[in-house]
Structure 1
């Protein structure tokens, strides 16, 4: 319900009621301005984009803190969203006055600090989670970060580093007891948190499968938080005999016992390995492997790419590339890696699958090889007959 009436002082008073029944009124010098204000409010109500003017005076921080307390988040997610809100510098800005220019200025500041394009995108995405919640609660009519231009990320095929079999072998040889973690990433595709969360009972030696049922995440203060795997990541990974044999040797040498709930990898005090500790061990593994590689080089030989350039996650890429090279389809790779959907698998590894041109070239090569072999066989038989 809305109305416009002329006041005794000559001003035009426009009124309307919002979806909650509250009345809002403003005075205008001209009737046309009053009508425009009413039309905009009515359109917002009809289209479901209405936000109360009073609600918009709430700051980003005032909205975020009680809203975040209601969310069912993993500790890592809560930490990431907290970081985005804090880093934006917009905590004290009223949501109703928040503009696209504020977000653009923040993106520019992050870029000026030298943050990677992927990091900038992640932080903006996390802030938008909050802004979209404010839209759903009708605090603001729209997301002011919508359409903000973000730094271009490198193409996945250019940014992805996949170690060679020789490099993986060198790191396995240098890893000591940590070799089991290297093997689980390179030959089963497990994430570092999933490896830290493995218990001996998760290794099914009879069926040659590794059951991913939990993961270890950071919980602050160096503590480990054991949680269920991320969405769609709970899975059974079918492992080769060689990996099962390595796991068996590791259990026998380092984790003997009868309790199936004992951790496969532990710290010196018997607690499950944390991601921070695993990365420290990975750094030591890379350094040892690089030292051995350099020592084995002939004088004057090209040193090539140092092994220290590989991340632990690159071992998971190594596993995925091996599955794809062996002819596994998208769904098979998706399930093995624990991706939520085939779309994620394709967006990450599409460049590794043979293209139509590759298949055409391979098929033509087969035809040519067969024809040349047949021609040579016929020529040999003719020469033999003449002889």
Structure 2
């Protein structure tokens, strides 16, 4: 129920009760302004967009901590989210009321990530996305009417062109690796698995008869929690990958030298058990990269890039490459590998020429088959 009454001091008092029966009131100099306010509130209640004015008084830090505690983040993600909020967001936004933070405030804060904290463009976007997720949740919880994180200008992220390893480089790397990891290099370049997925492969995931691999888990190293087997990155990461003969042969030799049970890991640490990423990098990968003469900074993802580039060079479609890599969509694949797809200009020319071939022949030749030169206006 809403009403408007004139006060003894000449002000107009507008009041209403929300869906929970709480009374809210405001005073206006003009009756028309009071009526407009009541109309807006009534419309928001009827459309389900109503936000209690007192809900936004909660501070950003208080709400963000509740949001963070409720989110089922993986350990690595949880650590990053906490750092984004405590290091970059709370010092500026933490004590402010949710409803008091404007789009201009968010633009100023986002710009400060570059100017004050000197963060790289990609890091700025990652930190901003964390804070934006908090505000989206606040809007869904009716703490605020809308998120202030819309239409924010963020620094452009320079696109780095992937330079994939050649087959010769992959083989050179495998040759330099310790014996227990040589097949891992071939396996990675022949399946395109992410490093964690590669470490998580168990014998039971391999169907030697059908020559397929079911990607069902990954091994992750988390600070403070050690090495653990966990779910994959996204729903699309769960996939079945065809195994080429070169991978089958490498696996057969590897399992003969390093036998594993049905539920055992194909690739293990020297002391047994799943591979620890940091130890693998320090004691095997970096040394082998240097010995093979590969570019400094070449990481295990280079095997995944080599796989993708081989598929693209063989003419596989974007959709097929995306599915093999376990990407969420083809747009993600193009964002990383667009420069590797062959230029379509020649195909375009051939397609149009083929479509107009009969007409072109009749234009170039007369009825007696004699070629007619093109006419040029003087």
Q: What band does the TM-score fall into relative to the shorter chain?
A: 0.7 to 0.9
Whether the 8 Å CA contact 1:80–1:126 is kept in 2: the answer is: no
Residues 285, 50 of structure 1: alpha-carbon distance in 2 compared, 3 angstrom cutoff? farther
Structure 2 residue 332 is matched with structure 1 residue 329: no
Structure 2 residue matching 1:236: 3-state secondary structure: strand
Task: Report the alpha carbon displacement of residue 365 of structure 1 after superposing the two structures with TM.
Answer: 12
Which has the larger displacement, 34-43 or 55-64?
Answer: 34-43
Q: 2:366 corresponds to which residue?
A: none
Q: 1:376 corresponds to which residue?
A: none
Whether the 8 Å CA contact 2:107–2:152 is kept in 1: the answer is: yes
Q: 1:348 corresponds to which residue?
A: 336
Whether the 8 Å CA contact 1:167–1:307 is kept in 2: the answer is: no
- 1:1-387 to structure 2, matched below 5 A, reads 1-86=1-86, 87-89=88-90, 90-112=93-115, 113-155=117-159, 158-176=160-178, 177-221=180-224, 223-229=226-232, 230-254=234-258, 256-257=259-260, 259-280=261-282, 281-290=284-293, 307-360=295-348
1:147-180 CA-partner distances (Å, limit 9, x unpaired): 111111123xx43232233332322222223333
2:227 and 2:188 mapped to 1: Cα distance?
20
Residues 94, 364 of structure 1: alpha-carbon distance in 2 compared, 3 angstrom cutoff? closer
1:309 and 1:268 mapped to 2: Cα distance?
24
- Unaligned ranges ≥5, structure 1: 291-305, 367-387
Task: Report the alpha carbon displacement of residue 134 of structure 1 after superposing the two structures with TM.
Answer: 0.7
Structure 1 residue matching 2:264: 3-state secondary structure: coil
Q: 1:295 corresponds to which residue?
A: none
2:182 and 2:89 mapped to 1: Cα distance?
41
Task: Report the alpha carbon displacement of residue 319 of structure 1 after superposing the two structures with TM.
Answer: 0.9
1:102-145 CA-partner distances (Å, limit 9, x unpaired): 33233223323343322221221222222111101100111111
Task: Report the alpha carbon displacement of residue 251 of structure 1 after superposing the two structures with TM.
Answer: 2.1
Question: Normalising by the residue count of structure 1, what TM-score does the alignment of the two structures yield?
Answer: 0.80
Residues 253, 365 of structure 1: alpha-carbon distance in 2 compared, 3 angstrom cutoff? farther
CA RMSD of aligned residues (A): 2.7
Whether the 8 Å CA contact 2:161–2:339 is kept in 1: the answer is: no
Structure 1 residue matching 2:155: 3-state secondary structure: coil
1:329-374 CA-partner distances (Å, limit 9, x unpaired): 23321221112233333333333333430424678999xxxxxxxx
1:52 and 1:269 mapped to 2: Cα distance?
60
2:2 and 2:199 mapped to 1: Cα distance?
62
1:245-303 CA-partner distances (Å, limit 9, x unpaired): 1122222223x24x21112222344231133334434323222323xxxxxxxxxxxxx
1:94 and 1:267 mapped to 2: Cα distance?
51
2:353 and 2:246 mapped to 1: Cα distance?
34
1:210 and 1:272 mapped to 2: Cα distance?
18
Structure 2 residue matching 1:216: 3-state secondary structure: strand
1:244 and 1:252 mapped to 2: Cα distance?
12
Whether the 8 Å CA contact 2:203–2:262 is kept in 1: the answer is: yes
2:348 and 2:176 mapped to 1: Cα distance?
42
Task: Report the alpha carbon displacement of residue 315 of structure 1 after superposing the two structures with TM.
Answer: 2.2
Which has the larger displacement, 348-357 or 333-342?
Answer: 348-357
